[in-house]
Amino acid sequence: MTNRIEKLFEEKRRKGEKSLVFFITAGFPDREQNEDIIYTLAESGCDILELGVPFSDPIADGPTIQRSSERALRQGVTLGKILESVKSLRERTEIPIVLFSSFNPLLKFGLNTLIPQARKAGIDGILCPDLPPEEGGELSALCRDNGLSLIFLIAPTTLPERKKFIAEQSSGFIYYVSLKGVTGAREQMSSDLSQQVKEIKSFTSLPVVVGFGISRPEHTHIVAQSGADGAVVGSALINLIEKYETSDELLQKVKEFVKALKNGLKSSG
Element (H, E) at 226: helix 217-226
Q: Tell me 91's DSSP state.
A: T
Side-chain half-sphere CA neighbours of 257 within 13 A: 26
Distance CA 191, CA 194 (A): 8
Note the maximum CA span of the chain: 50
Asked about 57 being catalytic, the answer comes back as no
Element (H, E) at 49: strand 48-52
Sign of CA dihedral 198, 202, 207, 208: negative
φ/ψ of residue 257, rounded to 5: -65, -45
Q: Are 154 and 121 in contact (CB under 8 A)?
A: no
How many residues are recorded in the chain? 269
Nearest C-alpha neighbor of 215 from the set 199, 245, 238: 238
Q: Compute the radius of gyration of the chain from its Cα atoms.
A: 17
Pick the catalytic residue from 6, 17, 47, 61.
61
Question: How would you label 155-174 residue by residue, b for 16+ Cβ within 10 Å and e otherwise?
Answer: beebeeeebebbbeebbbbb
Pick the catalytic residue from 6, 17, 47, 50.
50
Distance CA 153, CA 36 (A): 29
Asked about 6 being catalytic, the answer comes back as no
Give the active site residues. Answer: 50, 61
